[in-house]
Amino acid sequence: MNLSFDFSFYSWDLVSNFILKGLYFSVMLTLVATLGGIFFGTLLAMMRLSGRKWLIVPATIYVDGMRSIPLVMVILWFFLLVPLLIGAPIGAEASATVTFIAFEAAYFSEIMRAGIQSIPRGQVFAGQALGMTYGQNMRLIVLPQAFRNMLPVLLTQTIILFQDTSLVYAIGAYDMLKGFEVAGKNYGRPIEAFIAAAVVYFVICYSLSWLVKRLHKKIAIIH
Query: What number of residues does the chain have?
Result: 223
Answering whether pTM is above 0.85, one says: yes
Residue predicted with more confidence, 74 or 11: 74
On the question of pLDDT at 124 being above 80, the answer is: no
- Cα angle for residues 45, 164, 31 (degrees, 5° grid): 65
Q: How far apart are CA 162 and CA 208, in angstroms?
A: 11
Q: Single out the residue of 82, 104, 83, 91 nearest to residue 32, CA to CA.
A: 104
Q: Give percent of the chain above pLDDT 90.
A: 52
Q: What pLDDT is recorded for position 223?
A: 52
* CA separation for the pair 81, 68 (Å, rounded): 19
Kindly give the interhelix angle for 20-48 and 53-67, rounded to the nearest 10 degrees.
Answer: 150
Q: Which CATH class is domain 8-222?
A: mainly alpha
d(CA 194, CA 203): 14
Please write the tens of the pLDDT for every residue from 4-36. 766 677 788 888 888 999 999 999 999 999 999
Residue 86 has pLDDT above 90, yes or no: no
Mean per-residue pLDDT of the chain: 87
Of 113-117, 124-128, 150-154, the poorest mean pLDDT is in 124-128
Q: How far apart are CA 109 and CA 38, in angstroms?
A: 7
- Name all contacts of 89-98 with Cβ < 8 Å and 24+ positions apart: 92/168, 92/171, 92/172, 92/173, 92/174, 93/25, 93/29, 93/168, 93/173, 93/174, 95/171, 95/173, 96/29, 96/165, 96/168, 96/171, 96/173, 97/29, 97/32, 97/33
* Chain centroid, CA 160 distance in Å: 7
Domain ranges within the chain, ordered by starting residue: 8-222
Q: What is the pLDDT of residue 64?
A: 95
Cβ-Cβ contacts under 8 Å for 35 (sequence gap 6 or more): none
How is the chain split among helix, strand and coil, in percent rounded to 5? 85, 0, 15
Give residue 129's pLDDT band: very low, low, confident or very high (50, 70, 90).
confident
